[in-house]
């Protein structure tokens, strides 16, 4: 590395932190930390129409929740928001105007739309046609005077070298070259409201902040030649670029869409549902990058040590919600009980289900959780009426030995004193039923589980019966026996 590594994540505060943007932030973070570089947060807030109040706070708060930290940001440095840098941008707009590399454009939105419609109807590729084309100096002066008299506020456009070839060696995709004629003509670098456009401001910011590498999604590839034009016009060296592949829905194979309601796409969603941030970090870090080998669970420190930009995938990254849930479940299993109790308790409290046995209920279902909010549905058995048996459960309960097993078990736990009603003694009574009836295996355990919980599968049976309580367990068994 010939120069210091400085990378940035530059969100627009136009909404919540999306999984794709979180991946961009995370990969830049890992790249900086792996190479002992600097990771910068810059806020690109020049799109005033889409600006969301509190959007910046939401971005930073959710990045922190994920476990990402940074070295420079609007919290530590002045003018790290684009809205605070308008005078800086104006300086370079003026420089390009003075050099004749940019010009004021007085075409109205209505005229642009009409020309675009004409081009589309004619089967032409939509592009801006220089409004001064064919005009003499006198005609240009008269045109400008007329437009200004009409109160039209100009934009500023960069004069594109359409014969130019804009190429770079992409960190992910290799050599890329795009002709200047393919960017749609001279493009706006400053809007009529005085704000710079994205492709202009980002170059000024990246240059002045000495950004060495720009790592972003490949939807930005079309922006790169425009940005290279600005570097060229200002005589600056461009940073290295790396464009990560799209994230696709693993089920549809299509680009991840906000309409995919079965997929949690915003970091806020994971926070609200009670995922462990370490699990979400781990999952996102493997979207389009892999360390090699079969292992999939890594700590943040592992990722920093292992991160290699040469292993960024050239194929689309498949977002699989089931895999996210599996990974989260692995993290919850590995976490200490105190952490998971703290994570689950607010959900039980909101559902009105906090009791003196809440910690034990959470411990019972901890191996089944992929997110803390699931604790509410999992504990329905303990707070609602006995559920109607499903088709598979009802079919199993038609077995010949089921009444014998249930009657025996009911009798044995009914004889237990309340003080003796513990998981250990309950387990002993199940073994006693086996001895008395000669029934064993699935035909012994399954009828008891279904009769008590209404389900064929669940956590440890003695613990479930203990937490359900003697009275409720007997009532459930009696209810099932009566229906047989």
Q: From CA 450, how far away is CA 447, in angstroms rounded?
A: 5
Q: From CA 474, how far away is CA 481, in angstroms rounded?
A: 10
Largest CA distance in the chain: 111
Q: From CA 16, how far away is CA 12, in angstroms rounded?
A: 10
| Both tokens assigned to 272 | 């609200």
Between the two ends of the chain, the Cα-to-Cα distance in Å is 76
| Both tokens assigned to 176 | 């890329």
**Residue 344 phi, psi (nearest 5):** -85, -30
Query: For residue 7, what are the CA distances in angstroms to 33, 281, 284, 375, 389?
Result: 10, 19, 19, 40, 57
Contact call for residues 102 and 156 (beta carbons, < 8 A): yes
DSSP letter for each residue of 365-421: HGGG-SSTTHHHHHTHHHHSPPPPP-HHHHHHTTSTTHHHHHHHHHHHHHTS-GGG-
Q: Annotated catalytic, 254? A: no
- Of 182, 43, 51, the C-alpha closest to 125 is 182
Q: From CA 439, how far away is CA 189, in angstroms rounded?
A: 81
Q: From CA 284, how far away is CA 286, in angstroms rounded?
A: 5
| Strand, coil or helix: 319 | strand
Which residues on neighbouring strands pair with residue 216, listed in sequence order? 243
Map tokens 């009802």 to a residue.
394
258, 305, 435, 440: the active-site residue: 258
Query: For residue 86, what are the CA distances in angstroms to 89, 353, 389?
Result: 5, 54, 67
Question: What are the catalytic residues?
Answer: 258
């Amino acid at each position: 590395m010939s120069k210091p590594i400085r990378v940035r994540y530059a969100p627009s505060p136009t909404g919540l932190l999306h999984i794709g943007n979180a991946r961009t932030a995370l990969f830049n973070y890992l790249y900086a930390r792996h190479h002992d570089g600097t990771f910068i947060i810059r806020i690109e807030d020049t799109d005033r129409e889409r600006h969301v109040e509190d959007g910046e706070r939401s971005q930073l708060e959710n990045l922190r929740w994920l476990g990402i930290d940074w070295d420079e940001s609007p919290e530590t440095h002045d003018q790290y928001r684009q809205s605070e840098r308008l005078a800086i941008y104006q300086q370079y707009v003026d420089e390009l105007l003075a050099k004749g590399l940019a010009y004021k454009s007085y075409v109205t939105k209505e005229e642009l739309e009409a020309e675009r419609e004409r081009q589309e109807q004619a089967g032409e590729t939509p592009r801006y046609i220089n409004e001064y084309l064919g005009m003499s100096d006198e005609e240009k002066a008269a045109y400008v005077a007329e437009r200004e008299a009409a109160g039209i506020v100009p934009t500023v456009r960069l004069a594109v070298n359409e014969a130019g070839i804009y190429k770079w060696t992409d960190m992910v995709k290799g050599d890329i070259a795009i002709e200047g004629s393919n960017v749609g003509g001279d493009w706006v670098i400053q809007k009529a409201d005085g704000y710079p456009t994205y492709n202009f401001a980002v170059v000024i910011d990246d240059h002045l902040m000495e950004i060495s590498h720009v790592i972003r999604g490949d939807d930005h590839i079309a922006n790169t030649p425009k940005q290279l034009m600005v570097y060229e016009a200002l005589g600056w060296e461009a940073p290295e670029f790396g464009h990560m592949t799209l994230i696709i829905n693993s089920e549809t194979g299509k680009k991840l869409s906000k309409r995919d309601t079965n997929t949690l796409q915003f970091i806020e969603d994971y926070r609200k549902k009670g995922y462990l941030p370490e699990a979400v970090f781990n999952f996102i870090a493997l979207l389009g990058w892999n360390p090699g080998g079969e292992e999939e669970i890594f700590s943040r420190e592992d990722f920093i040590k292992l991160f290699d930009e040469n292993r960024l995938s050239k194929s689309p990254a498949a977002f699989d919600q089931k895999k996210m849930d599996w990974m989260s479940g692995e993290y919850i299993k590995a976490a200490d009980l105190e952490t998971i109790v703290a994570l689950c308790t607010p959900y039980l409290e909101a559902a009105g289900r906090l009791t003196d046995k809440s910690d034990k209920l959470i411990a019972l279902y901890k191996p089944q959780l992929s997110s803390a909010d699931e604790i509410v549905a999992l504990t329905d058995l303990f707070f609602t009426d006995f559920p109607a048996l499903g088709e598979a459960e009802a079919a199993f309960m038609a077995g010949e030995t089921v009444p014998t097993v249930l009657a025996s078990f009911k009798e044995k736990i009914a004889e237990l004193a309340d003080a003796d009603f513990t998981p250990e003694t309950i387990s002993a009574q199940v073994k006693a039923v086996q001895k008395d009836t000669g029934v064993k295996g699935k035909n012994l355990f399954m009828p008891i589980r279904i009769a008590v919980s209404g389900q064929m599968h669940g956590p440890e049976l003695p613990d479930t019966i203990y937490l359900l309580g003697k009275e409720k367990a007997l009532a459930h068994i009696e209810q099932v026996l009566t229906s047989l």
